[in-house]
């Protein structure tokens, strides 16, 4: 029977939720049938997160009703949601590094069974759904894909009848993502309903049979993703024609602007990754993409390139023509280096500061914002206002606090601040992670324009579609080692995905090995 003809397992009726003057959800109604894979689409700030938190009992609605298998329910908290049969796999995993898989799952379940009994159940679920999980392994030994399997197994042990997945493939290789899709399809075939949130519209088309689109906290449309095009869905999300990123014509090969020479560095934390013999050259006017699954040394590499950690020798890192390995962040910025960090609030911006103050944090050496040691407040306000206007940042002006912006808008502001300093070298960590399609296009265009103007841009990302779209060359970081950069048009997503998964014998050999394994 068609899932949408059958009675809805979950029905939301006229759900509304406001925070002070901000309306997050307004009069939202939708239904999800048994065995249905239902997509929830929308830009950052559209209301998706608030809505799924209401379903999972983290947030309570101001108005409207929730109906579970026809009965009105009030979901007081996540425990009540789980008791109904609602499970959720969050975008950010909540696992303790020093505990085993079984110990982490036991904490999440709050079950009163022995670890030995739970270990047997974990093994049964793992075999049933093809989720390779070893209950006795410590989490700090697991890849990101393995950690996600742990979170999914933890949900499946509760026999969920509705599973909510929030951006589940943002840290997976293409091969791991396909494996996840196989699991979700099997769950749906067994009657489990799935609410799937993703900005990757190609995934929505491949996996989902129904989509509800939110914009400005309201439902603005529904569609069958199997029929609707990616462009049609994107235009529903943004409410207009989809902007097109334009790649400027590549300039002649520029001079080296960032050289890393045989850089090795031990991890500075218990579960970090050692960097081993990293070597590459970034040239003016090019975008060099570094792919890799999170936890393979990206954080450590970016920290040492930005000067937050010092290299063993000055010569290990050269910025423009200066041996910079022993220089700190401020000195490297004076050489022309800028940095977009992965963590927006905390490292990229200060939550409690106004946007104007956040603009000053890293741009104070540029544009006459500071003269004679004194801050020129009017100039700072103009600089922040220019960022807001150029990058279409949705904010209540330059005095809005950092934590009042959605994640995508904060990211656009940070990108604008760094690009506005006219850097000669830009390090960008996951520049479009978790942002909507409109913001992602704006950010990618800014990076391409910066490279066209003669800057060298290094982009670290797990989004292979993004790297193939904007990069001139691409390399893979795995286990703290960097593969030789290759021209993007000389490789494929599949080859890069295999290298991300740890295959080091070369793409052809890796592909042959996978074929043999199957």
Task: Read off the pLDDT of residues 200-259 as tens digits, 9 standing for 90 and up.
Answer: 888 899 999 999 999 989 999 999 999 999 889 989 998 887 766 676 665 567 899 999
Cα dihedral: 198, 203, 204, 207 (round 10): -120
Query: Which pair of tokens denotes residue 472?
Result: 């001139």
State pLDDT tens for residues 252-277. Answer: 678 999 999 999 999 887 767 899 99
478 close to 504: Cβ distance less than 8 angstroms: yes
Cα separation of 173 and 145, whole Å? 8
Query: Within a 13 Å sphere around the CA of 116, how many CA atoms are in the beta-carbon half?
Result: 0
Mean predicted lDDT score pLDDT of the chain:
87
446 class by beta-carbon count within 10 Å (0-12 exposed, 13-18 middle, 19+ buried): buried
| 10-238 and 254-336+423-489 agree in CATH topology | yes
**What are the distances in angstroms from CA 92 to CA 89, 168, 229?**
8, 9, 29
More confident residue, 414 or 44: 414
- Percent of the chain scored above 90 by pLDDT? 55
Q: Report how far residue 149's alpha carbon sits from residue 255's, in angstroms, rounded to the nearest whole number.
A: 45
Q: With H, G, I as helix, E, B as strand and everything else as coil, classify residue 266.
A: coil
Spatial separation of the C-alpha atoms in residues 470 and 238, rounded to whole Å: 22
Q: What pTM, to 2 d.p., does this model score?
A: 0.72
Alpha-carbon dihedral 155, 156, 160, 166, rounded to 10 degrees: 50
Structural tokens at position 22: 């901000």
- The full set of domain ranges for the chain reads 10-238, 254-336+423-489, 349-421
Read off the pLDDT of residues 482-502 as tens digits, 9 standing for 90 and up: 999 999 999 998 899 888 877
Q: Which two three-digit tokens encode residue 62?
A: 């101001």
Measured distance CA(206)–CA(204) in Å, rounded: 6
- Percentage of the chain with pLDDT > 70? 91
Q: What is the pLDDT of residue 511?
A: 34
Cβ-contact 288, 471 below 8 angstroms: yes
Q: Which residue has the tokens 């989490």?
A: 139
3-state secondary structure of 493: helix
Q: Which of 35-39, 118-122, 345-349 has the highest mean pLDDT?
A: 35-39
How far is it, in rounded angstroms, from Cα 396 to Cα 194? 36
Per-residue pLDDT band for 509 (boundaries 50, 70, 90) equals very low
CA dihedral defined by 368, 369, 375, 376, rounded to 10 degrees? 80
Name the least confident of 159-168, 264-273, 411-420. Answer: 264-273
Of 30-44, 285-299, 325-339, the range with the lowest mean pLDDT is: 285-299
**CB burial class (10 A; 0-12, 13-18, 19+) of residue 162?**
buried
Pick the CATH number of 10-238 from 3.40.1010.10, 3.40.50.300, 3.40.50.150, 3.40.640.10: 3.40.50.300
Q: pLDDT band for position 310 (50/70/90)?
A: very high
- HSE-CB at 56 with a 13 A cutoff on CA atoms is 19
How many residues in the chain?
Answer: 518
| Full strand arrangement of the beta sheet holding 322-323 | 275-283, 256-265, 317-319, 322-323
Q: Cα(488)–Cα(471) distance, rounded to whole angstroms? A: 7
Separation CA 411–CA 419 (nearest Å)? 12
Q: How far apart are CA 447 and CA 143, in angstroms?
A: 29
Q: Note whether 175 and 26 are within 8 A (CB).
A: no
The whole-angstrom separation of Cα 172 and Cα 291 is 11
For residue 21, count other CB atoms closer than 10 A to its CB: 6
- The CATH superfamily label for domain 254-336+423-489 reads P-loop containing nucleotide triphosphate hydrolases (3.40.50.300)
């Amino acid at each position: 029977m068609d899932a949408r003809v059958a009675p809805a397992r979950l029905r939301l009726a006229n759900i509304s939720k406001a925070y002070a003057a901000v309306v997050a959800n307004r009069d939202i109604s939708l239904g999800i049938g048994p065995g249905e894979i239902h997509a929830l689409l929308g830009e950052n700030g559209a209301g998706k997160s608030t809505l799924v938190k209401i379903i999972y009992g983290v947030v309570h609605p101001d108005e409207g009703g929730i109906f579970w298998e026809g009965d009105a329910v009030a979901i007081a908290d996540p425990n009540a949601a789980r008791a109904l049969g609602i499970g959720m796999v969050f975008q950010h995993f909540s696992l303790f590094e020093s505990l085993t898989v079984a110990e982490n799952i036991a904490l999440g379940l709050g079950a009163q069974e022995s670890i030995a009994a739970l270990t047997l159940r974990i093994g049964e679920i793992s075999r049933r759904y093809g989720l390779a999980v070893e209950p006795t392994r410590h989490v700090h030994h697991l890849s990101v894909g393995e950690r996600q399997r742990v979170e999914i197994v933890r949900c499946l042990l509760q026999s969920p009848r509705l599973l909510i997945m929030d951006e589940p493939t943002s840290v997976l290789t293409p091969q791991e993502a396909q494996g996840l899709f196989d699991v979700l399809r099997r769950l749906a075939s067994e009657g489990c309903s799935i609410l799937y949130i993703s900005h990757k519209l190609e995934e929505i088309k491949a996996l989902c049979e129904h989509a509800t689109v939110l914009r400005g906290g309201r439902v603005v449309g529904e569609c069958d993703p199997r029929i609707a095009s990616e462009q049609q869905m994107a235009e529903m999300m943004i409410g207009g024609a989809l902007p097109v990123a334009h790649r400027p014509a590549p300039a002649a090969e520029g001079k080296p602007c960032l050289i890393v020479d045989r850089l090795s560095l031990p991890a500075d934390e218990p579960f970090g990754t050692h960097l081993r013999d990293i070597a590459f050259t970034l040239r003016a006017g090019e975008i060099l993409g570094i792919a890799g699954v999170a936890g393979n040394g990206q954080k450590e590499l970016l920290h040492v390139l930005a000067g937050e950690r010092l290299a063993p020798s000055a010569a290990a890192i050269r910025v423009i023509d200066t041996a910079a390995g022993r220089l700190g962040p401020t000195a490297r910025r004076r050489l022309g280096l800028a940095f977009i960090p992965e963590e927006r609030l905390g490292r990229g911006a200060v939550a409690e500061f106004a946007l104007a103050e956040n603009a000053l944090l890293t741009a104070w050496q540029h544009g006459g914002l500071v003269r004679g040691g004194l801050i020129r407040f009017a100039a700072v306000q103009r600089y922040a206002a220019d960022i807001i206007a150029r990058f279409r940042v949705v904010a209540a002006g330059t005095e809005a606090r950092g934590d009042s912006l959605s994640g995508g808008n904060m990211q656009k502001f940070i990108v604008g601040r760094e690009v506005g300093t006219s850097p000669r070298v830009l390090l960008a960590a996951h520049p479009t992670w978790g942002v909507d399609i409109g913001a992602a296009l704006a950010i990618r265009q800014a990076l391409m324009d910066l490279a066209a103007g003669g800057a060298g841009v290094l982009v670290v990302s797990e989004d292979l579609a993004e790297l193939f779209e904007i990069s001139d060359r691409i390399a893979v970081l795995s286990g703290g080692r960097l593969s030789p950069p290759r021209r993007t048009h000389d490789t494929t997503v599949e080859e890069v995905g295999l290298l991300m998964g740890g295959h080091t014998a070369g793409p052809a050999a890796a592909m042959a090995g996978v074929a043999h394994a199957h």
